[in-house]
Structure 1
């Protein structure tokens, strides 16, 4: 399917690994010039190479190191993207999850850190990107989690704080329309480096007999009986960013193999 975004410019936050990188690769496969972002310089360099390897001929990929949870860094990131390419058409916001734990195991600092990481990073990046996105009729896709629809055990920070991003996404879909479309995706478990690491650690501790045994455990309760392929999540993000999705605005799309129990 031709998405009609060849030659556009996209910025994907926290995209040196995980689902952010999968989204950056999907945009690059469709001819988008992509800015890859991360905090760790070595991981960022590896992520940039991975995205370049996926890119179609002519699509450029650059990396910008920035900690999106820090005030001022999102503005610098957007400025770097516009300086490099002269425009910005698509913003994809992503961020790693906050630490797991029960409510009584968290303190005020944990809550403020989670809010800066998951919410203020989006607020600040969108604020800086908005005038550039309006110029060309751009898009925003927020990667959050299925935990906004169904609270997950031992994830009180993610369950609570990520809901703010979906509230923001829905509000912006009205405030920024018709020039800018704003949507969200709600991933369930995907076979990212983080899940692979957790499974491998489980094998080392003797919790699983093998890697396949661990992945089967992660697939438990998912109707499709497997965790997600990050590439397919990235393809969903690219579709929502494209002209093929021109009448999709203000939605939050679960990408979880049917694992969620919510009716809506």
Structure 2
């Protein structure tokens, strides 16, 4: 499908691996100029080469920490300086640590809020003036299915990510009609993190092989598998395109039907 974003410019946060990288790959393969971001310079360089291999547009890596306000300002400024504007923002961040409520202290809560919520606040604050200058700016927030259903032992994700959805809904009204804001709520996809978790379980003797572990992980999903990260990237690209021009303020589960929530 041609998303008709050739020549547009997009920032994809936390895109040196995982779902952020997959989203950047799809946007770049559709001809967008993509600015990718990550803390680890080596991993960011590897991602840059991987994305450039499929890109039709330019790929610019900008190292930085999403919990540092100065790094976010520099990320947006570099983008605008390099490409003359900004059309699409994809917010994303790594997940907070797992744990139950009674195992989680104040510092854990503040760190999770800074990572998951304030990174989005700061990215949007810096990006909004540029997004509003174009012909149809978009914000797509990658969160988690945990905003629909609480997941055991993930109290921080279950609680804090809800704030991002409230923010996304507010932005969809305050920034319209120049900018649309939507969210995607992924279930597990076969990212490097999931691969590491499955392989660790193999090493512990829980599965006979990686393939057996992957199959077991997928058994709870109605489609019988976990997601391919590029499938999530396709949804992000669709929401960034004019093909989704009447979608605004929605939160779309990308979970193969795994969720049990009616809404």
Cα pair 1:70 1:116 within 8 Å, conserved? no
Is the counterpart of residue 141 in structure 1 residue 140 in structure 2? yes
Unaligned runs of 5+ in 1: none
Report the counterpart of residue 38 of structure 1 in structure 2. Answer: 38
Report the counterpart of residue 96 of structure 2 in structure 1. Answer: 98
Aligned counterparts of 1:251 and 1:148: Cα–Cα separation in 2: 13
Task: Specify the SS of the correspondent of 2:53.
Answer: helix
Displacement of 1:220 in angstroms is 2.8
Report the counterpart of residue 234 of structure 2 in structure 1. Answer: 235
- Range with bigger deviation, 15-24 or 210-219: 210-219
Q: Note the aligned Cα RMSD (angstroms).
A: 0.7
Aligned counterparts of 2:69 and 2:81: Cα–Cα separation in 1: 20
Unaligned runs of 5+ in 2: none
Task: Specify the SS of the correspondent of 2:117.
Answer: helix
Report the counterpart of residue 163 of structure 2 in structure 1. Answer: 164
| Structure 1 residue runs of 4 or more that deviate by more than 6 Å after TM superposition | none
Report the counterpart of residue 203 of structure 1 in structure 2. Answer: 202
Counterpart selection for 2:123 from 122, 125, 143:
125
Cα pair 1:223 1:258 within 8 Å, conserved? yes
Aligned counterparts of 2:16 and 2:85: Cα–Cα separation in 1: 22
Aligned counterparts of 1:134 and 1:140: Cα–Cα separation in 2: 11
Aligned counterparts of 1:260 and 1:69: Cα–Cα separation in 2: 30
Displacement of 1:51 in angstroms is 1.0
Task: Specify the SS of the correspondent of 2:261.
Answer: coil
Is the counterpart of residue 183 in structure 1 residue 190 in structure 2? no
Aligned counterparts of 1:133 and 1:102: Cα–Cα separation in 2: 39
Normalised by the length of structure 1, the TM-score is 0.98
Displacement of 1:117 in angstroms is 0.5
Deviations 1:112-135 (A, max 9, x none): 000000000000000000000000
Counterpart selection for 2:77 from 72, 76, 79:
79
Report how many residues are paired.
Answer: 262
